[in-house]
Amino acid sequence: MFRSLLFIPGNNPSMLQNADVFSADAIIFDLEDAISISEKNNARNLVRNYLINSSVLPKQIILRVNAIDSEWFYKDIELLKTNKIDYLLIPKMDKLTSDKLTVLLSEYEAKNNMPETKVIALVETARGVEELPLYAENKRLIGLFIGAEDLANDLEIKRTESSEEIFYARSRIVYQSVINHLIPIDTPYTNINNPEGLLRDSTYAMSLGMKAKASIHPNQLDTINKVFSPSPEEIKWAQEIIKINLSKPGHGVFQYQGKMIDKPIINRAEKIIEKAKIFEIL
Amino acid sequence: MINGVKRFIPDNLKPFVSSDEHLNRIRKTVSKKSKTDETVFLHNIDEVFNALNITSGMTLSFHHHLRNGDKVIQLVAKEIEKRDLKNIHLAPSSIFPSYTNLVDLIKNGNVTDIHTNYLNGPVADTISQGYLQGKLIMNTHGGRSRAIESGDLAIDVAFIACPVVDQFGNGHGAIGKSACGTLGYAISDLEYAKKVVLVTDTLVDTLVAHQIDGRYVDYVLVIDSIGDRGGIVSGTTEVSKDPIGLKIAKDCANLLNYLGLIKDGFSMQTGAGKTSLAVVKFVEDIMIKNGIIGSFASGGITKAYVDMLEKDLFKNLYDVQCFDLEAVTSFAKNKNHLAMSASEYGNPFEDNPICNQLDFVILGATEIDLDFNVNVTTDSLGNLIGGSGGHADIAYGSKVSIIISPLIKSRIPIIKERVMTVTTPGSDIDILITERGIAVNPLRKDLLKKLEDSPFTLYKIEELLSITHNITGVPRHIETDEKIIGYVEYRDGTYLDVLRKVKDEYFR
């Protein structure tokens, strides 16, 4: 479970050194878009050495690998052997990529006697959005991550401050995530000098059903964490609901502040408390 | 012999015992100067040297309020060079990178001894390399005032850059084309130097109010420009955007709030670095959110504090020097922006110096060791890069002193088993805040108890050192040259540490 994910370019040693310090729930070490072709090998080596040698690692580690049909993919997934990577972030996911990935990883895991690798799909093409129902059931998946910049390029449209142009893709990712018990992860807000814009964009994404948001700068994390955490009011409400429910075993339905509380609402209260505990705000 | 911070001090010097030791002593002062002659106005530095008969071996003092923009010390240095005076003892309150023409004077033996509170740049490099034939004494701002008033630092001539002077020899820092704000560091020099020369570029008939009392002034030297006030700006005026610095600053503000230190009537002081400014910003946010009005902020004053004064978040600012031009403007127009002398700020023998009234201070460190001793004088190789300034004064005086620093700077750990140079005794440092956790000095059992159930990640400082070494590896031991180039003097006049020449292989 995460609220915030932070991209760190694989070739940035000072950022790597401090990766555990930032308040992100997960760090995405990037070997793909943030790394120029001439730097691919250096970045991979740096991340590998960091994962092997660092005594202080982030809570959850995601590796954004290069596209599965690129010349670097196989070298990138060699980093799985460090046993420090929790998830792979797979670019340009669609049905065909999903199928190929399943085969490639299964072969790799069998050959190296490794457990099943969990994956987050980076949905950043029109095909990827439209084919979501065809691959979102892939058992390796734990999350769907909308990559709005590449998606806008694919659609040949401009990214705007309001993000109206990605409403459809965001919603589709949220719905497919809910159906398949995945985490819907929102695209980064790229203007690092506009904290108000970040707050607005995060709040809006959360209102659509996104459960987490990626960031490209550590200074964005506090805002994201705040938006995607249960609020103190929500936590208090959930605690009350759970308390009343426990005091009335077998009732199933009861009233709280004039509203009918039934099983789905009790489940929601339990989820809020679970999140609060995981994110250490309770 | 070994002193109170476990440092070797030559037997002929008085060793540091403890930071409270001055409480057992009586304030010693020489007589303030008294003058009967009229103040004389001159227009040429040559005339001043002739009139005062400035000769080899004399002690000349300066203040540093114009900081990197100062031209007065350079003017005097040129005259020393022209006359080829030897064995001059310079006592500027600080030395900045722009004071480049002192380098040759040091190398040629014109200047052989220096007494200062801070130095950085080419002069610092030159002394680090062992060129100063006599000795360097590094003091604190409050300690320099104590040294002057006690006669330990006897000044033959004080050259005081003064942005405006009236016909009676009264002066002020807030008016004139070179206005630099308060002149807090010059007051002891004014009152106790044998002769005083105000150096100005702006004359007026009469000043309504003055900081420099003409009764102490022997000569006024009028020149075209005493400096470039643009050079005043110290460090930065921008809040840190560095995520590590911001994390440390936020943790610091939250810790202060948790300890109940941000409350009505509180007082504080910070440095002028980006992270310090971020702390100020976060403290300001907490004050606004909770409707808190502080008593005062002090120190070198920056725009950040001026803004808080104008928002009525503090009742007063006590300003010993202005760190930027916004502070200069504020000092000139805001009656609640008050000047303080270096003695009123940090002299241990003042009845109740401002430093003793501070609730908390936020300070930096080049190194900190397992005894919480702090070094802000040299780098880890021994090169001179700074000095106490007010560091040791306010660390001692404040109720809670906090060091904020990343654990690693340019791949070098800041925690050492033993710092290269002790600037501030560890007994006066209470808390270290880093990006990976907080260490509280075990001497502060009260703070440790308050933080027992806090949400902050607390470590012993030894544990933070271990975490750092796991990241960086253990740095190799640095050896110093045998040659002693100077001393770190504590504010009470005892000796904290010796400064040794940097080994040739470590020269930058």
CATH number of the domain that residue A16 is part of: 3.20.20.60
Among A228, A243, A259, residue at a domain's last position? A228
Same domain for A53 and A98, yes or no, is yes
- The alpha carbon of residue B471 is apart from the nearest alpha carbon of chain A, in Å, by 6
Same domain for A240 and A111, yes or no, is no
Nearest alpha-carbon partner for B132 in B115, B152, B155: B115
Same domain for A40 and A151, yes or no, is yes
Q: Which domain holds residue A213?
A: 4-228
Same domain for A67 and A186, yes or no, is yes
Using a CB–CB cutoff of 8 Å, tell me whether B412 touches chain A: no
Q: How confident is the model at residue B212 (pLDDT cuts 50, 70, 90)?
A: very high
pLDDT in tens, A48-84: 999 999 988 999 999 999 999 999 999 999 999 999 9
Using a CB–CB cutoff of 8 Å, tell me whether B474 touches chain A: no
User: What was the pLDDT predicted at B506?
Assistant: 75
Write out chain B residues lying below 8 Å of A54, CB-based. Answer: 471
Tally the domains of chain A. Answer: 2
Q: What is the mean pLDDT of residues B88-100?
A: 97
Using a CB–CB cutoff of 8 Å, tell me whether A53 touches chain B: no
Write out chain B residues lying below 8 Å of A217, CB-based. Answer: 243
Q: How confident is the model at residue B234 (pLDDT cuts 50, 70, 90)?
A: low
Most A CBs within 10 A among B247, B250, B251, hence the mutation to make, goes to B247
Q: How confident is the model at residue B271 (pLDDT cuts 50, 70, 90)?
A: confident
Q: What is the mean pLDDT of residues B218-245?
A: 86
Decide yes or no: CATH 1.20.1630.10 for domain B37-232: no
Identical topology for domains B37-232 and B243-484: yes
pLDDT in tens, B120-132: 999 999 999 999 9
Question: Are B470 and A23 an interchain contact pair (Cβ–Cβ within 8 Å)?
Answer: no
Distance, CA of B183 to CA of B341 (rounded, Å): 7
Same domain for A56 and A148, yes or no, is yes
pLDDT in tens, A233-244: 999 999 999 998
Question: Are A17 and B247 an interchain contact pair (Cβ–Cβ within 8 Å)?
Answer: no
Using a CB–CB cutoff of 8 Å, tell me whether A279 touches chain B: no
CATH architecture observed for domain B243-484: 3-Layer(aba) Sandwich (3.40)
Task: Locate A189 and state its tokens.
Answer: 């807000």
Q: Are A29 and A64 in contact (CB under 8 A)?
A: yes
- The alpha carbon of residue B221 is apart from the nearest alpha carbon of chain A, in Å, by 50
User: What was the pLDDT predicted at B2?
Assistant: 97
Same domain for A224 and A237, yes or no, is no
Residue boundaries of the structural domains of chain B? 37-232, 243-484
Distance, CA of B440 to CA of B29 (rounded, Å): 38
- The alpha carbon of residue A255 is apart from the nearest alpha carbon of chain B, in Å, by 36
A&B contacts, CB < 8 Å: 28
Among A198, A213, A228, residue at a domain's last position? A228
Distance, CA of B508 to CA of B150 (rounded, Å): 38
Q: What is the mean pLDDT of residues B183-209?
A: 97
Same domain for A117 and A210, yes or no, is yes
Distance between the two ends of chain A, CA-based, in angstroms?
Answer: 16
Question: Are A56 and B247 an interchain contact pair (Cβ–Cβ within 8 Å)?
Answer: no
User: What was the pLDDT predicted at B469?
Assistant: 93
B378, amino acid identity: T
Same domain for A20 and A85, yes or no, is yes
User: What was the pLDDT predicted at A253?
Assistant: 84
DSSP B196: E
pLDDT in tens, A20-34: 999 999 999 999 998
User: What was the pLDDT predicted at B508?
Assistant: 57
State what percent of residues in chain B have pLDDT above 90. Answer: 89
Same domain for A124 and A236, yes or no, is no
Task: Locate A62 and state its tokens.
Answer: 């995601």
Distance, CA of B146 to CA of B144 (rounded, Å): 5
The answer, yes or no, to whether residue A174 has pLDDT greater than 70, is yes
Question: Are A217 and B247 an interchain contact pair (Cβ–Cβ within 8 Å)?
Answer: no
Beta-sheet pairing, B164-166 with B171-172: antiparallel
Three-state secondary structure call for residue B434: strand
Mean pLDDT of chain A: 95
pLDDT in tens, B355-408: 999 999 999 999 999 999 999 999 988 999 999 999 999 999 999 999 999 999
User: What was the pLDDT predicted at B17?
Assistant: 97
Q: How confident is the model at residue B410 (pLDDT cuts 50, 70, 90)?
A: confident
User: What was the pLDDT predicted at B237?
Assistant: 63
Q: Which residues pair with A145 in a beta bridge?
A: A122, A185
Same domain for A65 and A122, yes or no, is yes
User: What was the pLDDT predicted at B257?
Assistant: 97
Task: Locate B242 and state its tokens.
Answer: 């560095």
Q: What is the mean pLDDT of residues A140-167?
A: 96
Q: CB-CB: which of B241, B436, B470 is closest to A21?
A: B436
The answer, yes or no, to whether residue B484 has pLDDT greater than 90, is yes
Helices (H), ranges, A88-164: 95-112, 126-130, 132-135, 148-155
The answer, yes or no, to whether residue B86 has pLDDT greater than 70, is yes
Question: Are A21 and B241 an interchain contact pair (Cβ–Cβ within 8 Å)?
Answer: no
Q: CA of B343: how far to CAs of A93, A179, B229, B313, B463, in Å?
A: 69, 72, 24, 26, 39
Residue of B nearest to A20 (CA): B436
From the CB of residue B203, how many other CB atoms can be counted at a distance below 10 Å? 13
Q: Which residues pair with B107 in a beta bridge?
A: none
The answer, yes or no, to whether residue B181 has pLDDT greater than 60, is yes
Distance, CA of B92 to CA of B99 (rounded, Å): 11
CB-hemisphere CA count at 13 Å for A213?
A: 33
Same domain for A236 and A224, yes or no, is no
Same domain for A151 and A221, yes or no, is yes
Write out chain A residues lying below 8 Å of B436, CB-based. Answer: 20-21, 56
